Structure 1
Protein backbone atom coordinates (compact mmCIF):
# COMPACT_ATOMS: atom_id res chain seq x y z
CA UNK A 1 0.00 0.00 0.00
CA UNK A 2 1.20 3.51 -0.75
CA UNK A 3 0.92 5.11 2.71
CA UNK A 4 1.62 8.61 1.45
CA UNK A 5 -1.30 8.37 -1.00
CA UNK A 6 -3.56 6.88 1.65
CA UNK A 7 -2.83 9.64 4.15
CA UNK A 8 -3.15 12.61 1.81
CA UNK A 9 -6.98 12.83 1.68
CA UNK A 10 -7.35 13.39 5.47
CA UNK A 11 -4.79 16.19 5.32
CA UNK A 12 -6.79 17.89 2.59
CA UNK A 13 -9.97 17.47 4.60
CA UNK A 14 -8.37 19.04 7.66
CA UNK A 15 -7.20 21.98 5.56
CA UNK A 16 -10.68 22.36 4.06
CA UNK A 17 -12.24 22.22 7.52
CA UNK A 18 -9.87 24.91 8.76
CA UNK A 19 -10.66 27.15 5.78
CA UNK A 20 -14.37 26.59 6.25
CA UNK A 21 -14.11 27.50 9.92
CA UNK A 22 -12.34 30.75 9.09
CA UNK A 23 -14.96 31.55 6.44
CA UNK A 24 -17.73 30.88 8.95
CA UNK A 25 -16.14 33.08 11.60
CA UNK A 26 -15.48 35.88 9.10
CA UNK A 27 -19.09 35.71 7.88
CA UNK A 28 -20.40 35.71 11.43
CA UNK A 29 -18.31 38.76 12.31
CA UNK A 30 -19.72 40.68 9.36
CA UNK A 31 -23.30 39.70 10.14
CA UNK A 32 -23.02 40.39 13.88
CA UNK A 33 -21.50 43.78 13.12
CA UNK A 34 -24.27 44.72 10.68
CA UNK A 35 -27.33 43.10 12.25
CA UNK A 36 -26.54 42.27 15.88
CA UNK A 37 -27.22 38.97 17.59
CA UNK A 38 -30.59 38.23 15.97
CA UNK A 39 -28.98 36.48 12.99
CA UNK A 40 -29.24 32.70 12.58
CA UNK A 41 -26.70 30.01 11.73
CA UNK A 42 -28.51 29.68 8.40
CA UNK A 43 -27.65 33.33 7.73
CA UNK A 44 -24.01 32.63 8.57
CA UNK A 45 -23.89 29.59 6.29
CA UNK A 46 -25.32 31.59 3.39
CA UNK A 47 -22.87 34.46 3.86
CA UNK A 48 -19.92 32.03 4.22
CA UNK A 49 -20.96 30.04 1.17
CA UNK A 50 -21.08 26.71 3.02
CA UNK A 51 -23.82 24.29 3.92
CA UNK A 52 -25.71 24.68 7.20
CA UNK A 53 -24.45 21.25 8.23
CA UNK A 54 -20.87 22.51 7.93
CA UNK A 55 -21.64 25.33 10.35
CA UNK A 56 -23.22 22.95 12.86
CA UNK A 57 -20.22 20.61 12.67
CA UNK A 58 -17.98 23.46 13.74
CA UNK A 59 -20.37 25.14 16.20
CA UNK A 60 -23.16 23.31 18.02
CA UNK A 61 -25.24 26.48 18.41
CA UNK A 62 -25.18 30.22 17.90
CA UNK A 63 -23.84 30.87 21.39
CA UNK A 64 -20.65 28.93 20.61
CA UNK A 65 -20.15 30.97 17.45
CA UNK A 66 -20.83 34.24 19.29
CA UNK A 67 -18.25 33.25 21.91
CA UNK A 68 -15.62 32.53 19.24
CA UNK A 69 -16.22 35.82 17.46
CA UNK A 70 -16.24 37.71 20.74
CA UNK A 71 -12.96 36.14 21.88
CA UNK A 72 -11.31 37.25 18.64
CA UNK A 73 -12.59 40.79 19.15
CA UNK A 74 -11.26 40.88 22.70
CA UNK A 75 -7.85 39.68 21.51
CA UNK A 76 -7.80 42.49 18.95
CA UNK A 77 -8.82 45.01 21.63
CA UNK A 78 -5.96 43.81 23.82
CA UNK A 79 -3.49 44.12 20.94
CA UNK A 80 -4.73 47.64 20.16
CA UNK A 81 -4.34 48.63 23.81
CA UNK A 82 -0.79 47.27 23.92
CA UNK A 83 0.10 49.17 20.74
CA UNK A 84 -1.38 52.40 22.10
CA UNK A 85 0.55 52.04 25.36
CA UNK A 86 3.76 51.60 23.34
CA UNK A 87 3.15 54.81 21.35
CA UNK A 88 5.99 57.27 21.76
CA UNK A 89 3.58 60.14 22.51
CA UNK A 90 1.28 59.58 25.54
CA UNK A 91 -1.50 61.79 24.16
CA UNK A 92 -1.55 60.32 20.69
CA UNK A 93 -1.36 56.84 22.18
CA UNK A 94 -4.50 57.58 24.18
CA UNK A 95 -6.23 59.09 21.12
CA UNK A 96 -5.26 56.05 19.06
CA UNK A 97 -6.86 53.60 21.48
CA UNK A 98 -9.91 55.76 22.15
CA UNK A 99 -10.57 56.04 18.42
CA UNK A 100 -10.07 52.29 17.96
CA UNK A 101 -12.50 51.48 20.77
CA UNK A 102 -15.13 53.99 19.59
CA UNK A 103 -14.86 52.84 15.97
CA UNK A 104 -15.15 49.17 16.95
CA UNK A 105 -18.19 49.79 19.11
CA UNK A 106 -19.83 52.15 16.62
CA UNK A 107 -19.39 49.85 13.63
CA UNK A 108 -20.03 46.56 15.38
CA UNK A 109 -23.60 46.32 16.63
CA UNK A 110 -23.12 42.73 17.80
CA UNK A 111 -20.16 43.57 20.00
CA UNK A 112 -22.13 46.22 21.85
CA UNK A 113 -25.00 43.77 22.38
CA UNK A 114 -22.65 41.06 23.68
CA UNK A 115 -21.08 43.53 26.12
CA UNK A 116 -24.53 44.33 27.50
CA UNK A 117 -25.34 40.62 27.83
CA UNK A 118 -22.04 39.96 29.60
CA UNK A 119 -23.14 42.12 32.49
CA UNK A 120 -25.52 39.26 33.34
CA UNK A 121 -22.63 36.76 33.14
CA UNK A 122 -20.35 38.20 35.79
CA UNK A 123 -17.62 35.57 35.48
CA UNK A 124 -17.10 36.21 31.78
CA UNK A 125 -17.57 39.97 32.26
CA UNK A 126 -14.80 39.99 34.87
CA UNK A 127 -12.50 38.05 32.56
CA UNK A 128 -13.03 40.60 29.80
CA UNK A 129 -12.59 43.52 32.15
CA UNK A 130 -9.43 42.13 33.70
CA UNK A 131 -7.90 41.37 30.30
CA UNK A 132 -8.20 44.91 28.95
CA UNK A 133 -8.72 47.27 31.88
CA UNK A 134 -5.15 47.29 33.30
CA UNK A 135 -3.63 48.38 29.98
CA UNK A 136 -6.31 50.99 29.35
CA UNK A 137 -5.76 52.41 32.81
CA UNK A 138 -2.02 52.48 32.16
CA UNK A 139 -2.58 54.36 28.88
CA UNK A 140 -4.64 57.02 30.65
CA UNK A 141 -2.32 57.19 33.66
CA UNK A 142 0.69 57.72 31.41
CA UNK A 143 -1.15 60.56 29.64
CA UNK A 144 -2.07 62.10 32.97
CA UNK A 145 1.50 61.94 34.23
CA UNK A 146 2.65 63.58 31.00
CA UNK A 147 0.32 66.50 31.78
CA UNK A 148 -1.79 66.16 28.62
CA UNK A 149 -5.08 65.48 30.44
CA UNK A 150 -7.28 68.02 32.18
CA UNK A 151 -7.13 67.95 35.99
CA UNK A 152 -9.49 65.45 37.61
CA UNK A 153 -9.77 63.09 34.63
CA UNK A 154 -9.54 59.49 35.82
CA UNK A 155 -8.85 56.27 33.89
CA UNK A 156 -12.34 54.96 34.71
CA UNK A 157 -13.86 57.98 32.93
CA UNK A 158 -12.80 56.60 29.56
CA UNK A 159 -14.88 53.45 29.82
CA UNK A 160 -17.97 55.61 30.31
CA UNK A 161 -16.94 58.00 27.54
CA UNK A 162 -16.54 55.17 25.03
CA UNK A 163 -20.07 54.01 25.84
CA UNK A 164 -21.34 57.59 25.48
CA UNK A 165 -19.92 57.80 21.96
CA UNK A 166 -21.37 54.37 21.22
CA UNK A 167 -24.77 55.67 22.35
CA UNK A 168 -24.58 58.46 19.77
CA UNK A 169 -23.47 55.96 17.13
CA UNK A 170 -26.40 53.65 17.91
CA UNK A 171 -28.88 56.52 17.70
CA UNK A 172 -27.51 57.93 14.44
CA UNK A 173 -26.54 54.68 12.66
CA UNK A 174 -29.68 54.44 10.46
CA UNK A 175 -29.22 57.94 9.03
CA UNK A 176 -25.58 58.95 9.54
CA UNK A 177 -23.17 56.15 10.44
CA UNK A 178 -20.12 58.45 10.60
CA UNK A 179 -21.32 61.23 12.89
CA UNK A 180 -19.95 59.46 15.99
CA UNK A 181 -16.50 60.69 14.89
CA UNK A 182 -17.59 64.27 15.60
CA UNK A 183 -18.60 63.45 19.16
CA UNK A 184 -15.48 61.38 19.74
CA UNK A 185 -13.44 64.48 18.84
CA UNK A 186 -15.58 66.66 21.14
CA UNK A 187 -15.05 64.21 24.01
CA UNK A 188 -11.29 64.18 23.48
CA UNK A 189 -11.21 67.97 23.37
CA UNK A 190 -13.10 67.98 26.66
CA UNK A 191 -10.52 65.87 28.48
CA UNK A 192 -7.29 67.31 27.05
CA UNK A 193 -5.16 69.70 29.04
CA UNK A 194 -4.50 73.23 27.88
CA UNK A 195 -1.74 73.12 25.29
CA UNK A 196 -2.54 69.58 24.17
CA UNK A 197 -3.28 69.47 20.40
CA UNK A 198 -7.06 69.70 19.80
CA UNK A 199 -9.01 67.28 17.63
CA UNK A 200 -10.47 68.79 14.48
CA UNK A 201 -14.26 68.55 14.01
CA UNK A 202 -14.15 67.14 10.48
CA UNK A 203 -17.64 65.61 10.51
CA UNK A 204 -20.67 67.96 10.58
CA UNK A 205 -23.43 67.48 13.17
CA UNK A 206 -26.74 65.80 12.49
CA UNK A 207 -29.16 68.16 10.80
CA UNK A 208 -32.77 68.54 11.93
CA UNK A 209 -34.07 66.07 9.36
CA UNK A 210 -31.53 63.44 10.39
CA UNK A 211 -32.39 63.89 14.05
CA UNK A 212 -36.08 63.32 13.35
CA UNK A 213 -35.32 60.31 11.14
CA UNK A 214 -33.05 58.83 13.80
CA UNK A 215 -35.74 59.34 16.44
CA UNK A 216 -38.25 57.59 14.22
CA UNK A 217 -35.90 54.66 13.64
CA UNK A 218 -35.24 54.40 17.35
CA UNK A 219 -38.97 54.36 18.12
CA UNK A 220 -39.45 51.64 15.50
CA UNK A 221 -36.82 49.42 17.11
CA UNK A 222 -38.57 49.69 20.47
CA UNK A 223 -41.94 48.48 19.13
Structure 2
Protein backbone atom coordinates (compact mmCIF):
# COMPACT_ATOMS: atom_id res chain seq x y z
CA UNK A 1 0.00 0.00 0.00
CA UNK A 2 2.80 2.37 0.88
CA UNK A 3 4.60 1.68 -2.41
CA UNK A 4 1.40 2.30 -4.41
CA UNK A 5 0.65 5.57 -2.62
CA UNK A 6 4.19 6.81 -3.30
CA UNK A 7 3.77 6.18 -7.01
CA UNK A 8 0.47 8.06 -7.28
CA UNK A 9 0.99 11.06 -9.61
CA UNK A 10 0.61 14.56 -8.18
CA UNK A 11 -2.39 16.65 -9.28
CA UNK A 12 -1.74 18.83 -12.30
CA UNK A 13 -3.38 21.98 -10.94
CA UNK A 14 -0.34 23.59 -9.20
CA UNK A 15 1.74 23.86 -12.42
CA UNK A 16 -1.20 25.66 -14.08
CA UNK A 17 -1.04 28.62 -11.69
CA UNK A 18 1.93 30.34 -13.39
CA UNK A 19 0.09 29.97 -16.70
CA UNK A 20 -2.95 31.72 -15.26
CA UNK A 21 -0.72 34.48 -13.92
CA UNK A 22 0.91 34.86 -17.33
CA UNK A 23 -2.49 34.96 -18.98
CA UNK A 24 -3.65 37.73 -16.64
CA UNK A 25 -0.45 39.71 -17.22
CA UNK A 26 -0.97 39.43 -20.98
CA UNK A 27 -4.58 40.49 -20.59
CA UNK A 28 -3.60 43.59 -18.61
CA UNK A 29 -0.83 44.35 -21.10
CA UNK A 30 -3.34 44.20 -23.95
CA UNK A 31 -5.79 46.45 -22.11
CA UNK A 32 -3.06 49.03 -21.40
CA UNK A 33 -1.90 48.92 -25.02
CA UNK A 34 -5.48 49.26 -26.25
CA UNK A 35 -5.99 52.34 -24.08
CA UNK A 36 -3.02 53.99 -25.78
CA UNK A 37 -3.95 52.89 -29.30
CA UNK A 38 -7.62 53.86 -28.98
CA UNK A 39 -6.64 57.24 -27.49
CA UNK A 40 -4.27 58.01 -30.35
CA UNK A 41 -6.04 56.45 -33.33
CA UNK A 42 -9.65 55.92 -32.30
CA UNK A 43 -11.60 52.69 -32.47
CA UNK A 44 -10.83 51.92 -36.12
CA UNK A 45 -7.95 49.58 -35.31
CA UNK A 46 -7.67 45.80 -35.27
CA UNK A 47 -6.85 43.38 -32.48
CA UNK A 48 -3.66 42.67 -34.43
CA UNK A 49 -2.70 46.36 -34.14
CA UNK A 50 -3.18 46.24 -30.37
CA UNK A 51 -1.21 43.01 -30.06
CA UNK A 52 1.75 44.54 -31.90
CA UNK A 53 1.61 47.64 -29.68
CA UNK A 54 1.49 45.41 -26.59
CA UNK A 55 4.42 43.30 -27.80
CA UNK A 56 2.50 40.03 -27.62
CA UNK A 57 1.61 37.51 -30.28
CA UNK A 58 -1.62 37.81 -32.20
CA UNK A 59 -2.61 34.33 -31.01
CA UNK A 60 -2.21 35.47 -27.41
CA UNK A 61 -4.48 38.44 -28.08
CA UNK A 62 -7.21 36.24 -29.51
CA UNK A 63 -6.95 33.84 -26.56
CA UNK A 64 -7.61 36.70 -24.15
CA UNK A 65 -10.25 38.50 -26.26
CA UNK A 66 -12.46 36.85 -28.86
CA UNK A 67 -12.71 40.04 -30.91
CA UNK A 68 -12.08 43.78 -30.86
CA UNK A 69 -15.44 44.56 -29.24
CA UNK A 70 -14.57 42.48 -26.19
CA UNK A 71 -11.36 44.48 -25.83
CA UNK A 72 -13.19 47.79 -26.27
CA UNK A 73 -15.61 46.79 -23.51
CA UNK A 74 -12.74 45.91 -21.17
CA UNK A 75 -10.98 49.23 -21.82
CA UNK A 76 -14.11 51.33 -21.76
CA UNK A 77 -15.41 50.00 -18.45
CA UNK A 78 -12.43 51.39 -16.54
CA UNK A 79 -12.60 54.65 -18.49
CA UNK A 80 -16.29 55.05 -17.76
CA UNK A 81 -15.71 54.51 -14.05
CA UNK A 82 -13.08 57.24 -14.20
CA UNK A 83 -15.56 59.64 -15.83
CA UNK A 84 -18.20 58.88 -13.20
CA UNK A 85 -15.55 59.45 -10.56
CA UNK A 86 -14.86 62.93 -11.98
CA UNK A 87 -18.51 63.86 -11.55
CA UNK A 88 -18.48 62.50 -8.01
CA UNK A 89 -15.38 64.59 -7.24
CA UNK A 90 -17.22 67.65 -8.55
CA UNK A 91 -20.09 66.89 -6.18
CA UNK A 92 -17.69 66.87 -3.23
CA UNK A 93 -16.26 70.32 -4.07
CA UNK A 94 -17.23 72.87 -1.44
CA UNK A 95 -18.24 75.39 -4.13
CA UNK A 96 -21.01 74.02 -6.42
CA UNK A 97 -20.01 76.25 -9.34
CA UNK A 98 -16.31 75.47 -9.06
CA UNK A 99 -17.23 71.80 -8.87
CA UNK A 100 -19.08 72.15 -12.17
CA UNK A 101 -16.11 73.95 -13.74
CA UNK A 102 -13.77 71.25 -12.42
CA UNK A 103 -15.96 68.56 -14.04
CA UNK A 104 -15.98 70.31 -17.42
CA UNK A 105 -12.22 70.84 -17.34
CA UNK A 106 -11.41 67.28 -16.28
CA UNK A 107 -13.79 65.59 -18.70
CA UNK A 108 -12.75 68.01 -21.46
CA UNK A 109 -9.15 66.98 -20.88
CA UNK A 110 -10.08 63.31 -21.22
CA UNK A 111 -11.98 63.96 -24.45
CA UNK A 112 -9.13 66.07 -25.81
CA UNK A 113 -6.56 63.35 -25.08
CA UNK A 114 -8.62 60.27 -25.94
CA UNK A 115 -10.01 59.97 -29.45
CA UNK A 116 -11.60 56.59 -28.70
CA UNK A 117 -13.51 58.04 -25.75
CA UNK A 118 -14.86 60.85 -27.93
CA UNK A 119 -15.95 58.36 -30.57
CA UNK A 120 -17.86 56.20 -28.08
CA UNK A 121 -19.47 58.79 -25.82
CA UNK A 122 -19.89 61.79 -28.10
CA UNK A 123 -20.05 60.45 -31.63
CA UNK A 124 -21.77 57.11 -31.02
CA UNK A 125 -19.14 55.18 -32.98
CA UNK A 126 -19.25 51.40 -32.66
CA UNK A 127 -21.97 49.54 -30.77
CA UNK A 128 -24.92 51.88 -30.23
CA UNK A 129 -26.06 50.05 -27.11
CA UNK A 130 -22.61 50.56 -25.57
CA UNK A 131 -22.81 54.32 -26.10
CA UNK A 132 -26.37 54.49 -24.80
CA UNK A 133 -25.57 52.41 -21.72
CA UNK A 134 -22.56 54.60 -20.94
CA UNK A 135 -24.59 57.79 -21.15
CA UNK A 136 -27.29 56.24 -18.98
CA UNK A 137 -24.73 55.49 -16.26
CA UNK A 138 -23.13 58.93 -16.48
CA UNK A 139 -26.33 60.99 -16.53
CA UNK A 140 -27.32 60.67 -12.82
CA UNK A 141 -23.91 61.88 -11.60
CA UNK A 142 -23.76 64.73 -14.12
CA UNK A 143 -27.36 65.66 -13.33
CA UNK A 144 -26.53 65.90 -9.62
CA UNK A 145 -23.63 68.29 -10.36
CA UNK A 146 -25.91 70.47 -12.48
CA UNK A 147 -28.74 70.50 -9.94
CA UNK A 148 -26.35 71.48 -7.14
CA UNK A 149 -24.92 74.38 -9.15
CA UNK A 150 -28.43 75.56 -10.03
CA UNK A 151 -29.57 75.40 -6.41
CA UNK A 152 -26.64 77.63 -5.49
CA UNK A 153 -27.89 80.28 -7.93
CA UNK A 154 -24.70 80.18 -10.01
CA UNK A 155 -25.89 78.10 -12.98
CA UNK A 156 -28.70 78.98 -15.38
CA UNK A 157 -31.97 77.25 -14.55
CA UNK A 158 -32.56 76.07 -18.13
CA UNK A 159 -29.48 73.82 -18.37
CA UNK A 160 -30.09 70.06 -18.37
CA UNK A 161 -27.81 66.98 -18.33
CA UNK A 162 -28.34 66.48 -22.07
CA UNK A 163 -26.62 69.83 -22.70
CA UNK A 164 -23.33 68.52 -21.31
CA UNK A 165 -22.43 65.91 -23.98
CA UNK A 166 -23.38 68.36 -26.74
CA UNK A 167 -21.08 70.99 -25.24
CA UNK A 168 -18.32 68.38 -25.06
CA UNK A 169 -19.05 67.43 -28.67
CA UNK A 170 -18.49 71.05 -29.72
CA UNK A 171 -15.24 71.16 -27.78
CA UNK A 172 -14.25 67.84 -29.30
CA UNK A 173 -14.64 69.33 -32.78
CA UNK A 174 -12.25 72.14 -31.78
CA UNK A 175 -9.78 69.55 -30.48
CA UNK A 176 -10.01 67.49 -33.63
CA UNK A 177 -9.15 70.45 -35.87
CA UNK A 178 -6.58 72.19 -33.67
CA UNK A 179 -4.64 69.25 -32.17
CA UNK A 180 -1.60 69.79 -34.39
CA UNK A 181 -1.80 73.59 -34.30
CA UNK A 182 -2.82 74.48 -30.71
CA UNK A 183 -3.70 71.45 -28.57
CA UNK A 184 -5.04 73.58 -25.70
CA UNK A 185 -7.32 75.74 -27.83
CA UNK A 186 -10.41 73.92 -26.55
CA UNK A 187 -9.92 75.60 -23.14
CA UNK A 188 -10.60 79.02 -24.76
CA UNK A 189 -13.97 77.87 -25.99
CA UNK A 190 -14.82 76.06 -22.77
CA UNK A 191 -14.29 79.36 -20.93
CA UNK A 192 -16.64 81.10 -23.35
CA UNK A 193 -19.24 78.37 -22.85
CA UNK A 194 -18.93 78.50 -19.06
CA UNK A 195 -19.48 82.28 -19.12
CA UNK A 196 -22.67 81.62 -21.04
CA UNK A 197 -23.78 79.04 -18.47
CA UNK A 198 -23.31 81.31 -15.46
CA UNK A 199 -26.36 82.95 -13.99
CA UNK A 200 -24.46 85.45 -11.84
CA UNK A 201 -21.65 86.61 -14.12
CA UNK A 202 -20.66 90.23 -13.44
CA UNK A 203 -17.94 90.48 -16.10
CA UNK A 204 -16.35 88.32 -18.80
CA UNK A 205 -13.83 85.73 -17.62
CA UNK A 206 -10.31 86.15 -19.10
CA UNK A 207 -9.72 83.58 -21.84
CA UNK A 208 -6.86 81.10 -21.23
CA UNK A 209 -5.87 80.91 -24.91
CA UNK A 210 -5.68 83.66 -27.55
CA UNK A 211 -7.57 83.17 -30.78
CA UNK A 212 -5.91 81.48 -33.74
CA UNK A 213 -4.23 83.84 -36.16
CA UNK A 214 -5.11 83.48 -39.83
CA UNK A 215 -2.23 81.10 -40.58
CA UNK A 216 -3.06 78.89 -37.59
CA UNK A 217 -6.74 78.92 -38.56
CA UNK A 218 -5.97 77.85 -42.13
CA UNK A 219 -3.73 75.03 -40.89
CA UNK A 220 -6.36 73.87 -38.38
CA UNK A 221 -9.08 73.76 -41.01
CA UNK A 222 -6.86 71.77 -43.34
TM over 0.5, yes or no? yes
Aligned partner (choices 72, 89, 95) of residue 83 of structure 1: 89
Q: Does 1:37 align with 2:74?
A: no
Distance change >3 Å, CA 91–CA 171, structure 1 → 2: same
Question: What is the alpha-carbon distance in structure 2 between the residues aligned to residue 197 and residue 146 of structure 1?
Answer: 19
Residue 144 of structure 1 deviates from its aligned partner by 0.6
Aligned partner (choices 207, 217, 220) of residue 211 of structure 1: 217
What whole-Å deviation, never above 9, does each CA across 1:131-178 have from its counterpart, x for those lacking one?
110110110110011011145333432232121111111121232222
Question: What is the alpha-carbon distance in structure 2 between the residues aligned to residue 59 and residue 108 of structure 1?
Answer: 22
Residue 192 of structure 1 deviates from its aligned partner by 1.7
SS in 2 for 1:154: coil
Give unmatched runs, 5+ long, in structure 2: 1-7
Residue 73 of structure 1 deviates from its aligned partner by 1.4
SS in 2 for 1:60: coil
Q: Does 1:68 align with 2:74?
A: yes
Taking structure 1 as the reference length, the TM-score comes to 0.85
Greater per-residue helix proportion: 1
Aligned partner (choices 140, 152, 159) of residue 134 of structure 1: 140
Question: What is the alpha-carbon distance in structure 1 between the residues aligned to residue 204 and residue 82 of structure 2?
Answer: 27
| Bigger-Rg structure (1/2) | 2
Residue aligning to 1:28: 34
Distance change >3 Å, CA 146–CA 27, structure 1 → 2: same
Matches within 5 A, 1:96-107: 96-107=102-113
What whole-Å deviation, never above 9, does each CA across 1:86-114 have from its counterpart, x for those lacking one?
22211111111111221111211112222
Question: What is the alpha-carbon distance in structure 2 between the residues aligned to residue 97 and residue 126 of structure 1?
Answer: 21
**Alpha-carbon contact 2:120-2:131 (below 8 Å) kept:** no
* Aligned pairs, number: 214
Residue aligning to 1:117: 124
**Alpha-carbon contact 1:45-1:55 (below 8 Å) kept:** yes
Question: What is the alpha-carbon distance in structure 2 between the residues aligned to residue 12 and residue 199 of structure 1?
Answer: 58
Give unmatched runs, 5+ long, in structure 1: 217-223
**Alpha-carbon contact 1:118-1:124 (below 8 Å) kept:** no
SS in 1 for 2:138: helix
